[in-house]
Amino acid sequence: MVKNKVYFLLSGDTILQGLLGATTSNPKVYFFYPLEKIENNLPCITYHFTEQPVDEPNIIDKALVDGLLTIDIWSRGNTDEIESRIKEIIKNTLKFKANLLTSVPLFEADLKINHQQLLFQILGG
């Protein structure tokens, strides 16, 4: 399952964990959103996976599910190092193909938080 693979890759990477200031009790990697206010967990990463139905008739193994993986970086500071590390992890560690479709810099004005959104197309996840 893509959700679990992504969690274990991001929360298990010591370089990324160092950039996030993570601890063993709080790896700062959350599926969808942290249980507490996001501003209490900065910097951190949230992610979710949206499955797309496999409608290609030539695919024998229907377990190869295509979908979109969204990874969001939340920080009061610069997100460049965290973004670079995530791209490296996704590109070099996943056992399936992941193409970066977009990287969008956002700013949450109400919370004064930098928000970088990465969107990957997953093939064979």
Angle, to 10 degrees, between the axis of helix 2-11 and the axis of helix 80-93? 130
Domain positions in the chain: 2-123
Average pLDDT over all residues of the chain: 87
Rounded percentage of the chain residues whose pLDDT exceeds 90: 58
Question: Which residues, at least 6 apart from 21, have a Cβ–Cβ distance to it below 8 Å?
Answer: 28, 43
pLDDT 10s digits, 71-90: 999 999 999 999 999 999 99
Please state which CATH number belongs to domain 2-123: 3.30.70.1700
Q: Model's pTM, two decimal places? A: 0.87
Percentage of the chain modeled with pLDDT above 70: 88
- Residue 57's pLDDT band (cuts 50, 70, 90): low
Q: What is the pLDDT of residue 34?
A: 87
